[in-house]
Structure 1
Amino acid sequence: MGAVTPLRREAAAEVEELELELLLEALFQRYGYDFRSHERALLRRKLRGVMRTRGLRTLSSLQDRALHDPAAASATLRALHVPPATLFDDTDEARQLRQLAGGCLRGAALPRIWLADCAGAEQAWTLAVILAEEGLLEHTEIHATVASDEQLEEALDAAIPLDRMAAAQAAYARAGGAGQLASHFQVDGKRAVLAPALRSHITWAQYNLVTDASFNEFNLIACRRALPDFGPLLRQRVLHLFHESLAPFGILGLDRPLQQSDPLWGSYAPAAPAPWHRRIA
């Protein structure tokens, strides 16, 4: 067999690009989830992982499976959405939340927090534990939004196997926790769930960052895991959405620091630890 020529490699790349565009359009038309403005390199990496798992060689074959096989569609969409977090898995984020939350919540009559494109129940539970320990949860509303109905069902029914609680306690301690994480949970058989007194402050909803409008004003917005997947135009659209949704002197937490050249930068003061930004206007 002869070597692959540069021309053939270029043709193969063009075909794969066409396949990718057709797959993204199919997912949008069939299921309503719009990944067409996401970063192409990240999409390819995630989709190739699904293809390897399912023994598929081309994106066209994955498109065929996703359109006709509910299990393949679910696996494809799950791979493209924000992956689930575990309790206190982001040590820096948890420490910064302990440091920053009081400054933007204590002065508000009814503090609200938005976890946009939340990475599942355990990210929201982490925040609830931090706020409870800082004495801030009692009057605070946490709005956790996810991109799909499937993610919403998983968040509402979430629980942690008891054999994971030791690892969760260690992560909690690394993130500045000084007590016993288990005191914030109740045991249900071989699983642990967040105590009702904390869970009652979390409101879950399905929400699409690509298409939906601002739905409230928030003192703190965190979107720490989704933005790297967005292309430049979509990222700009989402930043404007957050700008419209953030209260004066509220704090915005992003995956990456806003750049000085960003037109929204003038509305934020980089006084908070990066990548957290405080709105001053």
Structure 2
Amino acid sequence: MAALSGYPSGETGLATEELEIELLLEALFQRYGFDYRDYDRQAIRRRLYALMRARGLATVSRLQDRVLHEPGASDALLRALAVPPATLFDDPEQARQLRIVLASCLRASAVPKIWLAECGGAEEAWSLAIMLAEEQLHTRTDIYATAANEQMLDEARNARISLERMEQCKENYRASGGTGNLDDYFEIEDGHAVLASSLRNRINWAQYNLVTDASFNEFQLIVCRRALPDFGPVLRRRVLRLFHESLARFGVLGIDREFDEGDAFGENYQAVFSHQGWYKRVA
């Protein structure tokens, strides 16, 4: 990816840019406690470029100056680096697979727990809650939806969907295998749709940092499909170890892609679907 116009051309410019990215990520960690230093550098660069273009900044150093000195700039950076928000049933194929997983892996548990690690916002959790209701599992299943960014958690707790957008959500819902009436799972508040309180109450929102925090519970299902693609190799191994420590035996792990040969604990899992990144822990 070519450097922005504020850098000299060639290897010197790329080296300068890489150094500035390192310094920005270190500053973000030291000043605000958010650690993106082991994220995939290309993913970081793409998101920094988008933010810099939006703010008319030619170099990463200028962005760092804003982040350290300008009110609100750090929030904008953290939002740019965070997992992109999901929309209701926005990946129908993955939702169909998740329906099968829910039916097969949770029924044997008296009080199953699901962890949406680095959740993509309210609508990802709402989609799961609706699928649990359709499998008659919602009254005894707890969803733990976590994210590192407290601001995004606040938005998730207070999320709403416009009635106009609900029409597209209904199409995605039907494509995902939904056979009911999507409206039945929602309440109308001030002209917007909000997930019914009986389902919202099963979702536990909490701040949690996959980079630094330890295992906090045992789960029958862990899903982390949106954040893992952004992790560098060292961080990916660390997070897969964390998931292994947090997943009950015969629980299911949903990740972004198939295990690589070098992935931590990969030999302890059995594929649920071919080439899809869903695995049952067997050891």
Same fold (TM over 0.5): yes
Residue 180 of structure 1, CA deviation: 1.2
Q: Whole-Å Cα distance in 2 between the matches of residues 272 and 10 of structure 1?
A: 44
Percent identical pairs in the alignment equals 56
2:267 pairs with 1:256: no
Deviations 1:239-267 (A, max 9, x none): 00000000010000001111234341111
Q: Whole-Å Cα distance in 2 between the matches of residues 55 and 212 of structure 1?
A: 35
SS at match of 1:119: coil
Q: Whole-Å Cα distance in 1 between the matches of residues 251 and 95 of structure 2?
A: 18
Q: Whole-Å Cα distance in 2 between the matches of residues 233 and 261 of structure 1?
A: 11
Q: Whole-Å Cα distance in 2 between the matches of residues 248 and 17 of structure 1?
A: 42
2:282 pairs with 1:280: yes
The answer for the alignment partner of 1:231 in structure 2 is: 232
Q: Which amino acid aligns with 2:163?
A: L
Q: Whole-Å Cα distance in 1 between the matches of residues 11 and 261 of structure 2?
A: 37
Residue 272 of structure 1, CA deviation: 3.5
2:241–2:264 contact (8 Å) kept in structure 1? no
Q: Whole-Å Cα distance in 2 between the matches of residues 260 and 17 of structure 1?
A: 30
The answer for the alignment partner of 1:26 in structure 2 is: 27
Q: Which amino acid aligns with 2:88?
A: L
Q: Whole-Å Cα distance in 2 between the matches of residues 262 and 87 of structure 1?
A: 31
SS at match of 2:184: helix
CA RMSD in angstroms comes to 1.3
Q: Whole-Å Cα distance in 2 between the matches of residues 194 and 219 of structure 1?
A: 24
Please list every run of 5 or more consecutive structure 2 residues that lacks an aligned counterpart in the other structure.
Answer: 1-7
The answer for the alignment partner of 1:3 in structure 2 is: none
Deviations 1:130-183 (A, max 9, x none): 010111111000000011110111111111111111010011011111111111
Alignment of 1:50-129 (within 5 A): 50-129=51-130
Q: Which amino acid aligns with 1:277?
A: Y
Tell me how many residue pairs correspond in the alignment.
Answer: 276
Q: Which amino acid aligns with 1:93?
A: Q
2:237–2:264 contact (8 Å) kept in structure 1? no
The answer for the alignment partner of 2:46 in structure 1 is: 45
Which moves more between the two structures, 22-31 or 261-270?
261-270
Q: Which amino acid aligns with 2:152?
A: Q
Which moves more between the two structures, 67-76 or 186-195?
67-76
The answer for the alignment partner of 2:268 in structure 1 is: 267
1:272–1:278 contact (8 Å) kept in structure 2? no
Q: Which amino acid aligns with 1:46?
A: R
Q: Whole-Å Cα distance in 1 between the matches of residues 243 and 71 of structure 2?
A: 33
Runs of 4+ in structure 1 displaced over 4 angstroms?
A: none
